[in-house]
Structures are given as structure tokens and as C-alpha cells.
Amino acid sequence: MTKAELIDAVADGAGISKAAAAKAIDSFINGVTKALKKGNKVTLVGFGTFSVSKRKARKGRNPRTGEEIKIPASKIPKFSSGKALKQAIK
């Protein structure tokens, strides 16, 4: 599902305009992003939890040359699905 398809589904499901649905979805994405930047978790009971995971620096290999490279430490977004979501897709 693309963002445009999600906007259509939200607009139809909530009985609002596509512009209002787009604004709501953008606001949700911005809110989650800001919370994750601050290091907070965002938990939607029954749906799941958005959090930040830290990856340690490590060594890797360039697949073309076989040369060893250093991969720096980084932070990545992570999503853990909730129990209700897991059961809904079985």
C-alpha cells in the first residue's frame, strides 16, 4: 500500500476529505519522527511500538573487491507489532 492509497483508505473510512486525511497522516508521521529523535518510544496499544535501536560499529566487506570496510555506529527506527495486530493477520 502506498501513501496515496493509505490516504484514500483513511478518507473513506473516516468520512473526511482526502486533504484532511493527508494532513492527519503527515501529522502522525511527524509526531512519531520527533518522538524517536528525542529517544522516546511511541506505543499504540494493540497495534505496536515504534522505537530507536542502536547498531554498534562493525567491519564489513565490499562485495566487489573483497576489501574490508568500517561501518560506523548508527541509530535505526524499529517497529514491534502488538498482539492484536499479529492475531489480525493470521
Question: What is the residue-wise DSSP string for 55-71?
Answer: E--EEEE-TTT--EEEE
Q: Kindly list the distances between the CA atom of residue 74 and the CA atoms of 30, 31, 37, 42, 56, in Å, as whole numbers in the listed order.
A: 21, 21, 13, 20, 7
Nearest to 39 by CA among 56, 57, 55, 54: 54
Would you write out the chain's pLDDT as a tens digit for each of its 90 residues? 999 999 999 999 999 999 999 999 999 999 999 999 999 999 999 999 999 999 999 999 999 999 999 999 999 999 999 999 999 998
pLDDT of residue 59: 95
Q: Residue 90's pLDDT is what?
A: 86
Q: d(Cα 33, Cα 50) in Å, to the nearest integer?
A: 9
> What does the DSSP 8-state code read for residue 78?
E
